[in-house]
């Protein structure tokens, strides 16, 4: 049995633990935080990721299925475009982040999770991967998965790249659904697009909605009263700077591999960072050869990254000719425009890949 260390008990790390344990690996997950499940605010888990979690047996019965996303204009609340999120075989789910982490942890019951221990060093000495921790201890493993997010320590072994600040920050709040309902339909994802900023709401439970504002500052002067009403309801939000980094050219080194934000932090413009971490984790467990894993994920992650980066400009256009072209395109968007993203399934992609390469593929793990 292989002994694998996973650095980081976020969405990517815990999903990897669940998927690998099902493949008979012995996983230990090392997390710097002293406790899990206290992550505030909400998260959207699109059908491409929800399908993988449900396949792994993760219990998501607390999540809210959402059938529609509306893009609205900042000033007059006019609906610019609608996306039918209910057209997939698995629902588009929204939920409290803490509840998702709790469900992943429960499903990862077969793995050991060590809390309150920070990884400070990693090396590959050719016979094993070695992790050093902040308490002075070290551990040897057959492989290490760096699922340690935006500020990954493990990434240092593969490259010296660092994420770049986008110039924007995200403020987040959880609001009582009844109060938010005075300003917005709380049964759907609503995104208001405006010059230099945008605002998102979606339900996360029977009683609560999530609010996210993405802007260089907290000022929404002149925006529709619904947006200003929601922001007032939220009170003071602590803005968190947003970073991204083009997907790394190489995600692995010897017995060490990266996934999720450690390999490709993505701006939250299309709500796909966690979804891609989940897809990474399932793909990695599917084929434990790291070069093959990278090859099968790189193109898709590049597409998602490019779409999120495009959002940085397109979501925030000032009023003018370009904005009008965008709005016409949103109104005319085809119902299947997101099928490549939300309809993607790892098992089907794997099957396609193995049909393509069945004659040449070397099935041995690379570590």
Ligand X SMILES: Cc1cc2nc3c(=O)[nH]c(=O)nc-3n(C[C@H](O)[C@H](O)[C@H](O)COP(=O)(O)OP(=O)(O)OC[C@H]3O[C@@H](n4cnc5c(N)ncnc54)[C@H](O)[C@@H]3O)c2cc1C
Binding site for ligand X (CB under 6 A): 7-13, 30-33, 43-44, 118-119, 147-150, 153, 170, 172, 212, 242, 260-262, 268, 271-275, 277
Read out DSSP for 26-93?
EEEEE-SSS-SS---SEEEE-HHHHHHHHHTT---TTSEEE-EEEEEETTT--EEEEEEGGGSSS-EE
Least distance in angstroms from the C-beta of 45 to ligand X: 6
Residue 168 or 330 with smaller CB distance to ligand X: 168
Least distance in angstroms from the C-beta of 10 to ligand X: 2
Helix (H) or strand (E) holding 231: helix 225-234
Of 88, 92, 202, 243, the active-site residue reads 202
CA–CA distance, 352 with 187 (Å, rounded to integer): 36
Least distance in angstroms from the C-beta of 265 to ligand X: 7
Residue 32 or 296 with smaller CB distance to ligand X: 32
Least distance in angstroms from the C-beta of 278 to ligand X: 8
Helix axes 47-55, 273-286, angle to 10 degrees: 40
Residue 147 or 327 with smaller CB distance to ligand X: 147
Buried b (16+ CB within 10 A) or exposed e, 52-73: bbeebebebeebbebeebbbbb
Sign, Cα dihedral of 265, 267, 270, 274: positive
Is 202 assigned a catalytic role? Answer: yes
Phi, psi at residue 341, to the nearest 5°?
A: -90, -55
Residue 8 or 203 with smaller CB distance to ligand X: 8
Count CB neighbours of 313 within 10 A: 11
Least distance in angstroms from the C-beta of 60 to ligand X: 14
Q: Among 296, 288, 261, which residue's Cα sits nearest to residue 366?
A: 288
Residue 148 or 327 with smaller CB distance to ligand X: 148
Task: Return the active site residues.
Answer: 202
């Amino acid at each position: 049995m292989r002994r694998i260390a996973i650095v980081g008990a976020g969405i990517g790390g815990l999903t990897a633990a669940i998927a690998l344990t099902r493949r008979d690996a012995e996983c230990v997950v090392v997390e710097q935080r002293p406790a899990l499940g206290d992550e505030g605010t909400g998260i959207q888990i699109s059908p491409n990721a929800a399908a993988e979690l449900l396949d792994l047996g993760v219990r998501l019965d607390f999540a809210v299925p959402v059938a529609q996303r509306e893009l609205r204009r900042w000033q007059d609340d006019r609906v610019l475009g609608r996306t039918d999120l209910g057209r997939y075989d698995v629902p588009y789910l929204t939920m409290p982040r803490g509840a998702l982490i709790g469900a992943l942890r429960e499903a990862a019951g077969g793995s050991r999770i060590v809390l309150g221990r920070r990884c400070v060093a990693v090396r590959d000495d050719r016979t094993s991967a070695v992790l050093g921790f902040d308490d002075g201890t070290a551990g040897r493993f057959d492989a290490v998965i760096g699922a340690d997010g935006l500020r990954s320590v493990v990434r240092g072994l593969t490259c010296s790249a660092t994420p770049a600040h986008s110039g924007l920050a995200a403020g987040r709040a959880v609001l009582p659904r009844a109060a938010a309902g005075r300003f917005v339909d709380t049964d759907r994802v609503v995104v208001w697009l405006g010059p230099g900023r945008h605002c998102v709401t979606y339900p996360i439970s029977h009683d609560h909605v999530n609010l996210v504002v993405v802007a260089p500052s907290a000022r929404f002067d002149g925006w529709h009263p619904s947006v200003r009403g929601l922001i007032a309801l939220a009170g003071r939000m602590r803005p968190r700077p947003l970073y991204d980094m083009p997907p790394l050219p190489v995600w692995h080194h010897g017995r060490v591999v990266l996934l999720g934000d450690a390999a490709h932090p993505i701006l939250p413009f299309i709500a796909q960072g966690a979804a891609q971490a989940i897809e990474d984790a399932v793909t990695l467990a599917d084929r434990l050869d790291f070069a093959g894993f990278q090859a099968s994920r790189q193109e898709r992650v590049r597409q998602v990254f490019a779409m999120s980066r495009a959002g940085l400009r397109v979501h925030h256009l000032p009023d003018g000719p370009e904005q009008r072209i965008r709005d016409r395109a949103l109104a005319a968007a085809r119902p299947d425009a997101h099928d490549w993203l939300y309809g993607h399934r790892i098992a089907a992609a794997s099957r396609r890949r193995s049909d393509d390469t069945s004659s040449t593929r070397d099935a041995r793990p690379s570590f």
